[in-house]
Amino acid sequence: MAHEPSDALFAALADPTRRSILRAVAERGPVTATALSVELPISRQAVAKHLGLLRNAGLVAADRSGRETRFVVVGAPLEDLAAWAEQAGRRWDDRLARLGERLRDQPHLTRE
């Protein structure tokens, strides 16, 4: 069963720059912070800071080899997030369906 996404996961994704860095890592990884800063309109230092937050949230992993650190996306938390959001949406759909049934069964039901 999927894990409920963590506070840190949502917080990490609540910034458009971090979402664009995550996207770039997904498309280019394994990739260094330096390589990412070349193609994004932000400094290497800022990229490294955002990568640290994404890493704390479990969304990227750092692979150290020699003097270089390359980043890759970790797929599982995004899958957990998709499952959580789908389930939350579905719970609401079920609720709507039940409400519809109740209204059909009790045509004189008022809104109070």
38 belongs to the binding site for a second copy (CB under 8 A): no
111 belongs to the binding site for a second copy (CB under 8 A): yes
Residue 49 phi/psi, 5-degree rounding, is -65, -45
Give dist(CA 88, CA 92) in Å, integer.
7
* Nearest distance, CB of residue 104 and a second copy, angstroms: 17
Give dist(CA 109, CA 21) in Å, integer.
52
- Written as six digits, the tokens of 110 are 């008022």
Kindly list the residues in this chain that would bind a second copy in the complex (CB under 8 A).
4-5, 7-8, 10-11, 13-16, 19, 22-23, 26-27, 29, 65, 68, 73, 75, 78-79, 81-83, 85-86, 88-89, 91-93, 95-96, 111-112
